[in-house]
Amino acid sequence: MQNPFENALKQLEKAANIMNLDKNIHAILKQPDRVLTVAVPVRMDDGEVKVFTGFRSQYNDSLGPYKGGIRYHENVSLDEVRALSFWMMVKCATVNIPMGGGKGGIIVDSKKLSEGELERMSREYIRKIWREIGSDKDVPAPDMYTTPKIMGWMRDEYEKLIGKSDPGVITGKAIADGGSEGREQATAQGGVYVTRELMKKMNWRAADTKVAIQGMGNVGGFMAKLLAKDGFKIVALSDSKGGVYNPDGLDLDTIFVHKEKTGSLTGIDGVQNVSNAELLELPVDILVPSAMENQITVDNAANIKAKVIVEMANGPTTPEADEILSQRGTVLVPDVLANAGGVTVSCFEWEQNVKNLKWSEDEVLTKLKPIMVAAFNEVWETKEKYNVPMRTAAFVKAIERVAGKIKI
């Protein structure tokens, strides 16, 4: 398997060469500012103590406090956490929010823990890293297998340790616990703002544009509903077991009700069932991967018919597939831009917490729009200036911003 941090460094190098980055700044950006590796001992329900390993990588805080999720997964590793913190730096800088890059994780299969064990582990992790976090220092958030409830325990433990309230220490909290309105649909809404801008560049009309969406969870589900509201023709949609396809457009209400009732997408009248692999290769205008990483690879990139790919999932396209798509002239809106609505509204949650404000859902989604629109257009201009794919352009733009703030 490819080492994710080596991949991140290759992307950095590519951007550095294009923009002629100062070699001292390049050297600084080749490693995180700080990485914590911590032991997380937990008294299990049977009385035994199990010691888990946790990490927190703080990549760069030139633009603002480090920001990034905490992942609970068996495959968490130091290199994964370092790479993810680098990509968070790039994502925050791409949309120009006042946040740096961070990421954390614990090596654990959290599904095997009882609720009590999960709470004790989450609190112990905070006891090990609390000196290095805070609303003015490093602001964690949820990631894979971490939830608003876990964020609530972490905030509570942190505030007990510092002896005062600091709700902005962590985002992704439940609304009642200081979370932000609008966070649920923020990622998809950001993706829609970006897609609308792209439509102008392509000179396309929503009503003539066929869209296939892989995944119908938080991101894919909202994306389908919001794009349909804009008049796009959603022709394919899938869950982990497979998808449905109708070249004339899907009736989304029927599909979501059926999925809710039966838990599956089989047995729906008037649609064709397709596998997730087939969905990616359908004759559509826009493909929106919204599920997993590594879906578009060297094996299927040449078969993709969509002229536009909007990466709502994180890392759905491998670097080799990127090359193939770029040679074929596919316009790919990279994850660091397309799905950055999520981290932007996390930043809004932090801002509301530190300023003691409360914005309505409408206010939140209205504030999101100019940020996504500006980011899209800046990345587009950078792509034109250097004649590079949008992913490279986003990295160049982001690193330009971070580098501009580094003082040595």
Q: Are 333 and 151 in contact (CB under 8 A)?
A: no
E strand or H helix at 98 = none
293/384 with CB nearer ligand NAD: 293
CA quadruple 302, 303, 308, 314: dihedral sign: negative
Min separation Cβ 222 and ligand NAD, Å? 8
Segment 37-66, which members bind ligand NAD (CB under 6 A)?
Answer: none
DSSP structural state of residue 62: S
Regarding 240 and contact with ligand NAD (CB under 6 A), the answer is yes
Q: Which is nearer to ligand NAD, 18 or 141 (CB)?
A: 141
User: What does the CA dihedral 242, 4, 134, 114 come to, rounded to 10 degrees?
Assistant: 50
DSSP 306-324: -SEEE--SSS-B-HHHHHH
* Among positions 276, 317, 344, 392, the unique one binding ligand NAD when judged by CB under 6 A: 276
Task: Mark out the alpha helices in 164-217 (DSSP H runs).
Answer: 183-202
CB 343, CB 186: distance < 8 Å: no
Smallest separation (angstroms) from ligand NAD to the CB of 313: 3
313 near ligand NAD, rule: CB under 6 A: yes
- Applying CB under 6 A, which of residues 94, 314, 330, 352 lies at the interface with ligand NAD? 314
Q: What is the footprint of ligand NAD within residues 153-192 (CB under 6 A)?
A: 187
Report the catalytic residues. Answer: 103
Shortest Cβ 2–ligand NAD spacing (Å) = 17
Instruction: Please identify which residue in 11, 214, 330, 353 interacts with ligand NAD, judged by CB under 6 A.
Output: 214
Six token digits for residue 33 = 């500012």
Q: What are phi and psi of 37, to 5 degrees?
A: -115, 125
Q: Which residues pair with 102 in a beta bridge?
A: 58
Name, in order, each residue with C-beta under 8 angstroms of 118's C-beta and a sequence gap of 6 or more.
110, 150
Q: Is 394 in the site for ligand NAD (CB under 6 A)?
A: no
Closest chain position to ligand NAD (CB): 217
Q: Site residues for ligand NAD, window 339-368 (CB under 6 A)?
A: 339, 342
Among 106, 219, 271, 287, binds ligand NAD (CB under 6 A): 219
* Residue 292 binds to ligand NAD (criterion: CB under 6 A): yes
Residue 51's SS3 state is strand
Distance CA 350, CA 355 (A): 8
**Binding residues with ligand NAD: total (CB under 6 A):** 20
Q: Which of 96, 218, 300, 326 binds ligand NAD (CB under 6 A)?
A: 218
Q: Which of the stretches 116-124, 261-269, 308-316, 376-384 binds ligand NAD when contact is defined by CB under 6 A? A: 308-316
Q: Is position 238 an interface residue for ligand NAD (rule: CB under 6 A)?
A: yes
Q: Which residues contact 112 (CB under 8 A, 6 or more apart)?
A: none
Interface contacts to ligand NAD, rule CB under 6 A: 187, 214-220, 238-240, 276, 290-292, 312-314, 339, 342
